[in-house]
Amino acid sequence: MIVEHTQDVLNSVGDIIQADLTLDDTLQAGCVIQDIHVAFSLLEEEKLLVVACYLGCVSEDDTDLFFQVLKANYMWAYTGGATLSIDESTLQLCLHRVFELPFEEIADIEEALSDILGAAEYWKKQLDSDDQSLGMADQTMHLGAHNIRI
């Protein structure tokens, strides 16, 4: 039942973003949205859907970026309600959020995904930018301009 519900949710999201989001045998689906790899993972027994956006590799020495990430994670201020983390083995900066299933309405995930994707685009640009020396206060006014509506 939860697998079917999740697939219905992913079908709806897939229709909006024009991507095939079919769960595989490992209960995962994924796509690329504006050069951001997005993975959807169903934890069936826990009834959780994990959405993860892989943004790019970071340098272990980039303390300025790490400080920005810590500030962004505080009360989910600059993450669209998700959490930024770094995969220890790949050094990929990842923005992820866990959703409890089932959704009352499939539309419930659309706004949350829009917020996450907007934040992911912002952080992807930060990684791609040669200039990461701006303070968070200087950057926050630009965050809203990068929202992606789905």
Taking the C-alpha atoms of residue 75 and residue 81, their distance in angstroms, rounded to an integer, is 8
57-66 pLDDT, tens digit per residue, is: 999 999 999 9
58-111 pLDDT, tens digit per residue, is: 999 999 999 999 999 999 999 999 999 999 999 999 999 999 999 999 888 999
**Residues 92 and 57 sit within 8 Å (Cβ to Cβ):** yes
Taking the C-alpha atoms of residue 86 and residue 92, their distance in angstroms, rounded to an integer, is 5
Could you give the number of structural domains in the chain? 1
125-138 pLDDT, tens digit per residue, is: 999 884 444 444 34
Q: What is the pLDDT of residue 132?
A: 42
Taking the C-alpha atoms of residue 41 and residue 9, their distance in angstroms, rounded to an integer, is 12
Q: Which residues pair with 42 in a beta bridge?
A: 49
Query: How far are the Cα atoms of 2, 67, 135 from residue 141, in angstroms, in the given order?
Result: 39, 18, 11
Q: Which residues have a Cβ under 8 Å from the Cβ of 4 and sit 6 or more positions away? A: none
Q: What is the CATH number of the domain that holds 14?
A: 3.30.1460.10
**How are strands ordered across the β-sheet holding 83-86?**
28-33, 36-43, 48-57, 92-100, 83-86
**Residues 9 and 103 sit within 8 Å (Cβ to Cβ):** yes
**Percentage of residues in the chain with pLDDT exceeding 70?**
86
Domain that holds residue 132: 2-146
What is the reported pTM?
0.83
